[in-house]
């Protein structure tokens, strides 16, 4: 596989990544959201694999395997179990309506590309053009956390943000050192479990996972 072809493949998967980020932003159903999250993980793993193959960075194989294991299989499975247990399969509400969110998202993407342009100039990796996409998916996931009203989509937003971060690392510098990646992956996993435990507590307290109820917690 020559460099230009693999570069184009990486670009393709990066586009998938961004597309899925937008899809998640517009998705109302929790189940579909989890499925999209798994797909995003798959796209991430695929692009990492291609980068690993074309540049010969062996530790990226491990990263790709880790991504498949955690982000395509384990975490979605945990999330499925969670919403089964919590009985929260219904539609999710957003704070801002979806078209407006999409518009803001487009603005963020433009901003992310403008931000990434000078860095991409300096980087000499095959994947340098995807840095803007990585930035954009981080920001979009963040936006999703802000506009969602229920706790589970917010956590998915948080996890998706980590995907974007991981992608940014791969595209800018062929990935972080493996130790760091392992650490981050473990953190995300542990974070998911902790969130799960919190959900049960929140629901016990308020009989709902709607985070509006938490406004009562502030001091007056």
Partner 1 sequence: MDFLPSPLSGALAAAVSWLVIALASLAPGRNALVVRRLAFPLGALAGLALAAFGLQAMWLPAAQMTLPLGLPDLPFHLRIDPLAGFFLMLLGAVSAGVCVYAAGYFRDESGERLTLIGLQYHVFLASMAFVIVADDAYLFMVAWETMALSSYFLVTTDHKLPAVRGAGFLYLLVAHLGAIAILLCFGVMSGGQGDYTFDALRAAELKPLWATVAFLLAFFGFGAKAGMIPLHAWLPEAHPAAPSPVSALMSGIMIKTAIYGMVRVIYDLIGGVRWEWGVLVLAIGAATTLFGVLYALMQHDLKRLLAYHSVENIGIILLGLGASMVFLGFGHSAAGALGLIAALYHTLNHAVFKGLLFLGAGSILHATGLRNLNDMGGLIHKMPKTAFYFLIGALAISALPPLNGFVSEWLTFQAALQAPLLANGVVRSVLPLFAATLALAGALTAMCFVKVYGIAFLGQPREPRHAPQPKAPAAGRDAGTLEQYGMAWLAAGCFVLGLFPTSFLLMLNRVATSLTGKGLSRAALESNWLWLIPSSSVQASYSPGIFLIVIVAVTLLTFLLVRRFYHGRVRYADPWDCGYPGQTPRMQDTADAFGQPIRHVFGPVYLMKRHLPGPDDPAPKFTLKIEDRHWYWLYLPLARLTNYVSSKIALLQQGRISIYLLYSFLTLIALLVFVR
Contacts to partner 1 by CB under 8 A: 95, 111, 115, 118, 139, 142-143, 145-149, 154, 211-212, 214-219
d(CA 151, CA 102): 21
Cβ at position 103, least distance to partner 1 in Å: 16
Query: Which residues face 150 on adjacent strands?
Result: 210
Cβ at position 58, least distance to partner 1 in Å: 33
Question: Whose CA is closest to 101, among 149, 35, 166, 61?
Answer: 149
Cβ-based nearer residue to partner 1, 53 or 111: 111
Cβ-based nearer residue to partner 1, 11 or 26: 26
Cβ at position 105, least distance to partner 1 in Å: 13
Cβ-based nearer residue to partner 1, 62 or 111: 111
Q: Is 37 left (phi over 0), alpha (psi -120 to 50) or beta?
A: alpha
Question: Whose CA is closest to 136, among 21, 218, 53?
Answer: 21
Cβ at position 180, least distance to partner 1 in Å: 21
d(CA 159, CA 99): 23
Percentages helix, strand, coil for the chain (3-state, rounded to 5) are 85, 5, 15
Cβ-based nearer residue to partner 1, 26 or 55: 26
Cβ-based nearer residue to partner 1, 48 or 154: 154
Cβ-based nearer residue to partner 1, 63 or 154: 154
**217, exposed or middle or buried, with CB in 10 Å at 0-12, 13-18, 19+?**
exposed
String of DSSP letters for 176-193 = --HHHHHHHHHHHHHHHH
Cβ at position 177, least distance to partner 1 in Å: 24
Cβ at position 215, least distance to partner 1 in Å: 4
């Amino acid at each position: 596989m020559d460099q230009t072809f693999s570069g184009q493949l990486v670009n393709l998967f990066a586009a998938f990544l961004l597309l899925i980020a937008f899809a998640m932003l517009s998705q109302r159903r929790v189940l579909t959201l989890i499925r999209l999250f798994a797909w995003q993980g798959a796209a991430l793993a695929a692009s990492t694999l291609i980068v690993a193959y074309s540049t010969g960075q062996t530790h990226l194989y491990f990263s790709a395997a880790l991504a498949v294991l955690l982000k395509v299989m384990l975490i979605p499975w945990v999330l499925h179990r969670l919403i089964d247990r919590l009985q929260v399969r219904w539609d999710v509400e957003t704070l801002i309506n979806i078209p407006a969110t999409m518009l803001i998202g487009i603005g963020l993407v433009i901003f992310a590309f403008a931000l990434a342009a000078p860095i991409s100039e300096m980087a000499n990796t095959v994947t340098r053009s995807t840095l803007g996409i990585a930035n954009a998916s981080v920001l979009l996931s963040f936006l999703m956390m802000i506009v969602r009203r229920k706790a589970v989509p917010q956590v998915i937003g948080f996890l998706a943000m980590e995907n974007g971060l991981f992608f940014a690392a791969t595209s800018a510098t062929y990935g972080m050192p493996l130790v760091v990646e392992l650490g981050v992956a473990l953190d995300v996993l542990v974070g998911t479990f902790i969130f799960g435990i919190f959900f049960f507590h929140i629901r016990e307290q308020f009989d709902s996972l709607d985070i509006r109820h938490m406004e009562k917690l502030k001091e007056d």
